[in-house]
């Protein structure tokens, strides 16, 4: 197994550049911030971006927790990669990750300055320090359930790849961890209930909302609602429209992952 390292200070755009570098060198697997990644899929690990403090995030990225390190080691043994790209803020950090995961010594070190311009690095640093933005090199759908309640946005990157000069689209995720300057925030269940009821009443055919409740889990929300439907409307069509409205608005306004919206038409109103 050949081990590569991409080294650069925090916030200089390593995760943004990781897939491009890996593609150029024919590397399929990446280790970044506690995650073991192949292409667009997380194979094992826990993202350091989920931690509540910077110290905890650093410990997660270094695989200090035995169970975390064991899970990733087992995944590496299972997939038997020919090469891996490890991202880190220093050579010392890379060496500690290599030791914790039982990997061979690093054979090639690439510095972020070798693959990014000064302007790109300054732009990445400004995004990190002014807006608290971090990049995870996987699509948003891959981490949605794990980052319910966080501010996350998809980031599409288009690049020219291969000898045929084909245009290739990559999706990464921009996330604002709770240890960023924005701090920690909470959204009460009553807020979710109010958003859900408001969106239900916007649907033609809904006469009134009889009850609303929310069950919160770490990976997202279960929303339960009873409604009264006006006579003359197709009940299934009305309920589907309510589901769609609630899912879109809760996601847009709160960043919470909506797992289920369970609706019941309890009565008909003439």
195-210 residue pLDDT tens: 999 999 999 999 999 9
The DSSP result for 257-268, as a single string, is: -EEEEEEEEEEE
Q: What is the mean pLDDT of residues 16-29?
A: 89
List Cβ<8 Å contacts ≥24 apart for 61-69: 61/33, 61/34, 61/88, 61/93, 61/97, 62/93, 62/96, 62/97, 62/100, 63/34, 63/97, 63/100, 63/101, 64/100, 68/34, 69/100, 69/101
Q: Is the pLDDT of residue 163 over 60?
A: no
pLDDT tens digits along 76-105: 999 999 999 999 999 999 999 999 999 999
Q: What is the pLDDT of residues 217-252, one digit of tens each?
A: 777 889 999 999 999 999 999 999 999 999 999 888
Q: What pLDDT score was predicted for residue 145? A: 65
Q: Give, in order, the Cα–Cα distances in Å from 112 to each of 12, 15, 57.
A: 7, 10, 21
CB 171 within 8 A of CB 139: yes
In the structure encoding, which two tokens stand for residue 168, read together? 């290739």
pLDDT at 89: 92
pLDDT of residue 6: 95
Helix or strand run (H / E) with residue 243 = helix 235-254
Distances (CA, A) of 190 to 145, 150, 210, 215, 242: 21, 18, 15, 11, 18
State phi, psi for 55 to the nearest 5 degrees: -60, -45
Question: How far is 31 from 18, CA to CA, in rounded Å?
Answer: 10
d(CA 120, CA 106): 26
The mean pLDDT of 149-169, rounded to a whole number, is 60
Q: What is the rounded distance in angstroms from the CA atom of residue 31 to the CA atom of residue 42?
A: 10
pLDDT at 160: 58
- Cβ neighbors of 193 (< 8 A, separation 6 or more) are 212, 213, 214
Domains and CATH numbers, the chain: 2-176 (no CATH), 189-269 (3.30.70.1350)
Which token pair is 50?
């989920």
Contact criterion met (CB below 8 Å) for 220 and 256: yes
Report the distance separating Cα 2 and Cα 64, nearest Å. Answer: 23
User: pLDDT averaged over the chain?
Assistant: 85
136-145, 209-218, 223-232: which has the minimum mean pLDDT?
Answer: 136-145
Using the 8-state DSSP alphabet, how is residue 128 labeled? H
Whether the per-residue pLDDT at 165 is higher than 60: the answer is: no
Instruction: State mean pLDDT over 19-47.
Output: 90
What token pair was written down for 79?
């997939």
Of residues 75 and 123, which shows the higher confidence score? Answer: 75
Distance (Å, whole) CA 110 – CA 7: 6
Please report which confidence band the pLDDT of residue 49 belongs to, taking 50, 70 and 90 as the band edges: confident
pLDDT at 73: 96
262 close to 222: Cβ distance less than 8 angstroms: yes
113/14 Cα distance (integer angstroms): 10
């Amino acid at each position: 197994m050949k081990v590569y390292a991409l080294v650069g200070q925090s916030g200089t755009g390593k995760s943004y550049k990781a897939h491009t570098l890996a593609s150029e060198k024919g590397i399929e697997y990446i280790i970044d911030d506690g995650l073991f990644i192949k292409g667009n899929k997380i194979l094992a690990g826990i993202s350091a971006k989920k931690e509540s403090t910077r110290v905890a995030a650093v410990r997660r990225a270094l695989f200090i927790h035995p169970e975390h390190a064991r899970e990733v080691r087992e995944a590496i043994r299972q997939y038997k990669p020919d090469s891996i790209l490890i991202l880190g803020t220093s050579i010392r950090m890379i060496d500690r990750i290599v030791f914790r995961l039982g990997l061979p010594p690093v054979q090639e070190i690439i510095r972020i300055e070798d693959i990014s311009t000064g302007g790109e690095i300054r732009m990445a640093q400004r995004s990190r320090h002014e807006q608290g933005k971090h990049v995870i090199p996987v699509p948003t759908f891959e981490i949605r359930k794990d980052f319910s309640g966080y501010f996350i946005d998809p980031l599409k990157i288009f690049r020219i790849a291969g000898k045929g000069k084909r245009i290739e689209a990559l999706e990464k995720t921009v996330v604002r961890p709770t240890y960023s300057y924005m701090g920690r925030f909470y959204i009460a269940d009553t807020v979710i209930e109010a958003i859900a009821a408001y969106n239900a009443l916007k649907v033609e055919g809904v006469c009134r909302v009889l009850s609303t409740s929310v069950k919160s889990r770490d990976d997202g929300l279960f929303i339960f609602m009873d409604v009264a439907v006006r006579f003359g409307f197709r009940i299934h069509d009305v309920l589907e429209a309510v589901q769609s409205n609630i899912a879109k608005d809760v996601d847009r306004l709160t960043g919470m992952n909506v797992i289920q919206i369970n609706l019941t038409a309890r009565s008909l109103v003439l």
